[in-house]
Amino acid sequence: MKKMVILISGNGSNLQSILEACESRRIKGSVSAVFSNKANAYGLSRARAAGVPTHVLSVSDFSDRESFDLQLIKMIEAYTPDLVVLAGYMLILSSAFVSHYQDRLLNIHPSLLPKYPGLHTHRQALKNGDTEHGTSVHFVTNKLDEGPIVFQAKVPIFPSDDEKAIAVRVKHQEHAIYPLVLSWFIEGRLTMREGKAWLDNKLLPPQGYARK
Ligand code: GRF
């Protein structure tokens, strides 16, 4: 059975959706371990409740980010994962980390990339008067929130919305699309080759999968 290691920093609602998808066999793989850079991340409790080993690694215990990431790689490697999944992991990864997990590192970002990389995406969408927003699952490369997009889900923004309302709507979509994309990878249907994302050996378009 293929194995995933998941990196979080906070609430872990996406982690929860992945754990549940494994439990119900929508993802035919398992979560071997959850790592957090924050000891108080609620996602750690979710992992423990599911019987998944957890580890906390604090940046402040290391002299620099490179040595932090090297230790993280070392600890992750103990689980020999097929896939490393970023699920609300709030640290920017070193190029050593990204290279080590090249082609098997996925992230979910709460915007319709390439729009709004980085932080406060909902705030920016509101400020700009957008009527549409969303979330993107993508392979990770060395450029922040770039890397080939696998799947996007769109949500409307209504005039009465605040950031919180948008975040709830976006997360609802995230909990549906992230497990689906992970299931594709676990089944060998989704790959990254030559810096591009492929599904069933078909090159995915720039905005990711779209049902025809
Ligand atoms: C999600 O919105 C995800 O897109 C972003 O961080 C958030 C994590 O939420 N990368 P949670 O911790 O999974 O609830």
The tokens of 120 are what? 């406060």
186 lines ligand 1 (CB under 6 A): no
DSSP string, 113-150: TTSS-SS-HHHHHHHTT-SEEEEEEEE--SSTT-S-EE
pTM: 0.97
108 lines ligand 1 (CB under 6 A): yes
pLDDT of 32-80, one tens digit each?
Answer: 999 999 999 999 999 999 999 999 999 999 999 999 999 999 999 999 9
Q: Whose CA is nearest to atom 6 of ligand 1?
A: 88
pLDDT value at residue 212: 65
Distance CA 196, CA 192 (A): 5
The mean pLDDT value for 120-144 works out to 96
Sign of the alpha-carbon torsion through 130, 136, 141, 144: positive
Distance CA 30, CA 80 (A): 12
Per-residue DSSP letter, 204: P
Residue 6 has pLDDT above 90, yes or no: yes
The tokens of 83 are what? 């896939």
Coil, strand or helix: which one is 207?
coil
As assigned by CATH, the class of the 2-108+135-150+174-203 domain is: alpha beta
44 lines ligand 1 (CB under 6 A): no
Residue 111 has pLDDT above 80, yes or no: yes
- Measured in angstroms, how far is the CA atom of residue 68 from the centroid of ligand 1? 22
The mean pLDDT value for 184-195 works out to 97
